[in-house]
Structure 1
Amino acid sequence: MSERAPVSTPLAHVREAIAHSCKIARREPDEVTLIAVSKTRAAEEIEPLLEQGQRAFGENRVQEAQAKWPGLRERFPDTELHLIGQLQSNKAEDAVALFDCIHALDRPSLVKALAKAFDKTGRRVPCFVQVDVGDEMQKGGCPVAELSGLLDQARDADIPVRGLMCLPPANIEPAPFFALLGKLALDHGLPDLSMGMSGDYETAIMLGATHVRVGTALFGPRD
């Protein structure tokens, strides 16, 4: 995590909660990257977090990020951008040019598109493979049974796979799904876990999350 924000801010509250969860889990707070989910948020909503020292942000759509982040990055050039939404193969080159990490690698066609984009741009962006831990095809994600094959394809294409990512089913206790993702990562020798959002990031941290994606707890409810 980056430097501490003033205690009265939502950012400070989330950081304190992360630190508390890490203490319970006997982990260090700097083992957890807080990704502020800024999708649908205007630049003027994002700037206060940047000014408080937050540097990792998550966006769902390539086009939206292209519109608002170049200007913000001129002022805060050390910002890390994470693509946390589903990525269309035809947007792979734009995503590789803009983002520092991609959390939604989930199918063979995207492996091919990203490998081509890496070669064309000269950038090799670390990726998380999104796993469909809840068997919900509408959310995207690689089925658990197909994970080994997809990881082999990604490695053969020289894609830097950093870890696994998941979106547990809504309105169900998320801990078993986080535990499943952790086991899959361990089985495949992957160090990082992108899991946990505003309502469950503390549980995710206690089950090994290295990256938590928090939006509402930082920005408030969306309109």
Structure 2
Amino acid sequence: MIKWIAAVVGLIYMRIPGAFIGFFLGSVIEVLFRRNGATSSNDVFQMFQQKERVSPGDFELNLLSLCSIVIKADGSVSQGELDYVRSYFVRAYGKERANATFRTFNDVVKNRQIDSGRICAYLHMRTTYEVRLQILHFLFGIAQADGSVDEDELRELSKIAGHLRLNRSDFESIKAMFFKSADKAYKILEIDEDVSDAEVKKAYRKMAKKYHPDKLEHMDEAYKKGAQEKFTQVQSAYEQIQKERGF
């Protein structure tokens, strides 16, 4: 069926040569789809529509691998950081499942070298941008669990954000949520201090939409809570600027 459709399309655009090319390419596509288990035109359509997703177990282990990179970035393993991660996973998956995952974490992940680029490439192909933003926010939380985010941890976080294909402006926005500075509110909203009131309002609407908890409604409770934390920070930043400017 596909080869004949492709042949007709080729005929319309390139006449007889196009029909031959379309028939050939359509035949190749049919063979490839049969190898992947597609047996009808509806199966083929679904294969085009589906996005490969990461399984819950793989997501947990890959996330824990990134956690271990951040935890070890400053050359020491802080109990506060480990407790932060465990608490997060208990909230997300329940105590029993979190403990089972952490046994793997203790036995394997903590004792080997981990390639953040490979892990992030895997997650990039299988998660939404909003989920990857939440991953970065969570990793910043780990780094701060021992009291502060140091330069080595920040360097690793920056590298992970790049591997996850997150925009630099989004990295700086989330970073600002964990650092005190005079222009913190503006950094969270991804704007400069000299922008107009109208641009502040526009930036707030954009960031509120980006960080809205509904973007993670398919995720576990801990991830929704993390999204709510970011959303609250955006609201607070906007309210602070409103108060300072009096609009």
TM range (shorter): under 0.3
Instruction: Considering fraction of residues, name the structure with more helix.
Output: 2
TM-score by length of 2: 0.25
Q: Which structure has the bigger radius of gyration?
A: 2
Highest RCO, 1 vs 2 (Cα 8 Å, sep ≥ 6): 1
Instruction: Considering fraction of residues, name the structure with more strand.
Output: 1
